[in-house]
Structures are given as C-alpha cells and as structure tokens.
Amino acid sequence: MKYRIEGKEDALIIVDVQVDFCPGGALPVPRGDEVVPVLNEYIRRFRAAGALIVATRDWHPPNHVSFKNYGGLWPPHCVQGTEGAKFHPDLNLPDDVIVVSKATDPSREAYSGFEGTDLEERLRRAGVRRVFVGGLATEYCVKSTVLDALRYGFETFLLEDAVRGIDATPGDVEKAIKEMLERGAKKLRLQDIG
C-alpha cells in the first residue's frame, strides 16, 4: 500500500539519533549509524511536503538515575552539553526542526519522546494527526515513543527501514516490533511512500 505525506497533518519523529548511540559512542546501538542516510531521505520528503520534523534527544544531567553509578542500567551517555549528546553529524536536520529534550530530570527515566515533555501539545497545536517514527533504539526509546503516540490517539507508523535496536537478548527487537504492531502501529518503508 502506498502512503502520501499530507503535509501539516503529518510529523516525522526522529528518536535519539545521537553520537553516543552510534558506533564509537558511550552506548552504541549496533549499526545505529545506518539509519542516518535513510532518515535523511525521509527528512527530504517530509520537508518537501511541508510536514513537521521533530527530533527527540536524551538530554541527561550528569547524575541521571539511568546511569549505573546512580542505580541504573546504563553507562553515562548523552550528558547535557557533551559531544556524545549531539545529534549524529551526518543527520540533515532542518533549521526549523523541533528539538524535544527528554530524561532531563535526574530522578526519572524517560524513554518516550512524550514523557515529561510538551511533544503531545506541540503536535496537537500544529494540527498533526499522523506520526512517522524512526531512530534509536527500536526496543527502548522508539518503542516507547510509538506506544505513547498510539495512546494519545495519533495514527502511528514505524519506519521499519530507519530503526535499529540493541537486541541484548536475541529476539528483543522482533518482540518490540510485534508489540508496536499489535497495539495498532503500521510499519512502512521509503518505497511505501508515493
């Protein structure tokens, strides 16, 4: 099935394509940088249609609860103002991109781009009905963002060719995709956009 980008009713949400989540970073997603050229093409097409472009980012304080030193699961990553917290240098974000910083409260984890942010409000104000989600990592921040978008009533698409996961336990990524689809997300790839 072919989908058309409808302009103002659509938003492309790019989840956490940051240096620390790419090879060589503090918490690399295997082959995470492979999403960059694909997302650049989505950005080009969504911009041409006049759609909203949103980029979420982990923006942790240095003492964040998700870090191992503070009882969390992860090594320090995407600390506010560091090189690792920057978007991947090859990601062609437009000047008018809406940047959503999440997980900024040291005492709260936040995987979803909606959690503790004004993303829902901004999308509603802009008249967005459909969201198209790609980025890193499939079974964590992408999944949480997709599930929240569905919960808030947005028609939600997973950009299957523009996500990569950690797959710490083999099958985690597959399970996450299955859950997103069972909850109502649709998956598509670049060739499905006509």
Q: Of 102, 143, 148, 161, which one is the catalytic site residue?
A: 102
Catalytic residue at 141?
Answer: yes
DSSP code string of 150-179:
HHTT-EEEEEEEEEE---SSTTHHHHHHHH
Q: Of 16, 20, 58, 148, which one is the catalytic site residue?
A: 16
Q: Of 20, 22, 33, 141, which one is the catalytic site residue?
A: 141
Nearest to 58 by CA among 67, 70, 49, 68: 67
DSSP code string of 2-39:
-B---GGGEEEEEE--BGGGSTTSSSPPTTGGGHHHHH
Token pair recorded at residue 3: 């989908």
Distance, CA of 47 to CA of 42 (rounded, Å):
8
Catalytic residue at 16?
Answer: yes
Q: What positions carry a catalytic annotation?
A: 16, 102, 141
